[in-house]
Amino acid sequence: MTNSFTRDDDGRLTVGGLALEDIAATHGTPLYVYSGDGIRADYRNFAAAVAPVDGKVHFALKANSALGVIALLASQGAGADIVSGGELQRALAAGVPAAKIVFSGVGKSTAEIGAALDAGIGQINAESTAEVEAISRIAAARGVTAPVALRVNVDVAPDTHAKISTGQRSTKFGVSTAQNEAATLYRRLAGDAHIRPAGLAVHIGSQILDLDPFERAYTALLDFGSALRGEGLPVPILDLGGGIGVDYEAGIATDFTAYGKLVSRIFADSGFQLGFEPGRSIVANNGALLTRVIYIKDGDNKRFVIVDAAMNDLLRPTLYEAHHAVLPLAPAGPAEGLADIVGPVCETGDYLAQDRMMPALGEGDGLAVMSAGAYGAVMASSYNSRPPAGEVMVLDGECHVLRRQRNVAELLAEEVIPALS
């Protein structure tokens, strides 16, 4: 289990000194529970690891965009890495200074770019010629200068799931450094009267556990940035993105020390300001999805533990074949046999875990799906008209409601039935 979630002397699963069973009884299930203490500690550990290079840290809101989580990290000095106009509004609402917001993503709309410029954010990472032209046009109409970094694609393929690998030229991300494409575009934006060149950005993917892809990508970025500087072009910032993975099976805290040493070795005395955009590595192991057993069903080949959480609450196992440990909230007995932990949704792919050794369980028993703090609630839906799980955060010994679970009446209130003849 993660360092934030431990068993007390009575064997109960706890977070921040509070029993998860008590939290589930108070707030209901399914329910996301975050350790604010753990999130704060992991952010501080990451910031300390990149402090030798004076790294500026922007938390990737796509991993967990709960306002309470963003506000907690902002209180620790974190900026925000956003990928939509909605995330821009979230970052500002949570107290992130506009100057500490970086806007990434390949498909920023005219309205989103305009909102970012109106807010005065610190950096827009452009990913195509068309986007650079759009930013220039929108900035000119407002009479402002847009701070633009160019996201480049250095063609590095990390060992991660294909759906979250973004560093190869075959993907939609960034402008290729091959055949002078990125250099030509950077020269163009550097000469644009409505753009202030902010530097270069790279992001090769997510859930990367090996440091070698980072080393190859960062070295290529440094070489490219140095070459542009050699032409006399201003390249103040190298934005290194995120991507540091977590150990989902062991559920242990990520050690940022080796990553920090790698960055220091590559960029020491380079003269570039460095930016970082961690997400998963800060929050994943500091969250759990609480659920209760509805029924136990013995199939022909295995046991099915049917619970009240489902793929609409946590999509990662279905979408990415992701592993999440599943632990009883009560003192754990000996393993009884293999079981699948499944939800009520009408899909064969609606499972939270498969072929797990589980203790004896009964109706009403509580379970925790671990390492669910990243890409959990943010990817939830109301599929099958199921309101997605609520969210709470335990911080300094108190449990705070971040977002209550909506009810079906609230889901229906969002819709309109047209007049039918």
Give 223-280 pLDDT, tens digit per residue. Answer: 999 999 999 999 999 999 987 888 887 766 677 999 999 999 999 989 999 999 999 9
Global pTM reads 0.93
Q: Is the pLDDT of residue 204 over 90?
A: no
- The helix (H) or strand (E) run that includes residue 182 is helix 181-190
Q: Is the pLDDT of residue 385 over 90?
A: yes
Q: Is the pLDDT of residue 288 over 70?
A: yes
According to the model, what pLDDT value does residue 208 have?
74
Picking from 273, 268, 284, the residue whose alpha carbon sits closest to that of residue 325 is: 284
According to the model, what pLDDT value does residue 340 have?
97
Radius of gyration of the chain (CA): 23
According to the model, what pLDDT value does residue 159 have?
44
DSSP code per residue over 86-145: HHHHHHHHTT--GGGEEE--S---HHHHHHHHHHT-SEEEE-SHHHHHHHHHHHHHHT--
| DSSP state letter for 345 | S
- Judge whether 294 and 308 are in contact, CB under 8 Å: yes
In whole angstroms, give the CA distance from residue 390 to residue 301: 34
Give 294-353 pLDDT, tens digit per residue. Answer: 999 998 888 999 999 999 999 999 998 999 999 999 998 888 889 999 999 999 999 999
Give the whole-number percent of the chain exceeding pLDDT 90: 81
According to the model, what pLDDT value does residue 3 have?
75
According to the model, what pLDDT value does residue 203 have?
83
CB-CB neighbours of 283 under 10 Å: 29
User: For residue 384, what are its two tokens?
Assistant: 């099958």
Q: Is the pLDDT of residue 365 over 50?
A: yes
Average pLDDT over all residues of the chain: 92
Produce one character per residue of 375-406: b if its CB has 16 or more CB atoms within 10 Å, e if not.
bbbebbeebeebbbbbbbbbbeeebeebbebe
According to the model, what pLDDT value does residue 292 have?
99
Which residues carry out catalysis?
346
Give 67-85 pLDDT, tens digit per residue. Answer: 999 999 999 999 999 999 9
- Judge whether 37 and 373 are in contact, CB under 8 Å: no
Picking from 320, 323, 304, 307, the residue whose alpha carbon sits closest to that of residue 386 is: 307
State the number of CA atoms in the 13 A half-sphere of 132 facing the CB: 24
According to the model, what pLDDT value does residue 333 have?
85
Q: Could you tell me which residues are beta bridge partners of residue 296? A: 305
Give 27-79 pLDDT, tens digit per residue. Answer: 999 999 999 999 999 999 999 999 999 999 999 999 999 999 999 999 999 99
- Judge whether 207 and 226 are in contact, CB under 8 Å: no
According to the model, what pLDDT value does residue 242 have?
87
In whole angstroms, give the CA distance from residue 131 to residue 133: 5
Give 142-200 pLDDT, tens digit per residue. Answer: 999 999 999 998 876 544 444 444 444 445 556 877 778 889 999 999 999 999 999 99
- Judge whether 275 and 313 are in contact, CB under 8 Å: no
pLDDT: is 205 or 153 the higher one? 153
Give 99-131 pLDDT, tens digit per residue. Answer: 999 999 988 999 999 999 999 999 999 999 999
Phi-psi domain of 391 (left: phi exceeds 0; alpha: psi -120 through 50; beta: other): beta
What structural domains does the chain harbor? 5-34+284-404 (2.40.37.10), 37-281 (3.20.20.10)
In whole angstroms, give the CA distance from residue 143 to residue 123: 17
According to the model, what pLDDT value does residue 252 have?
65
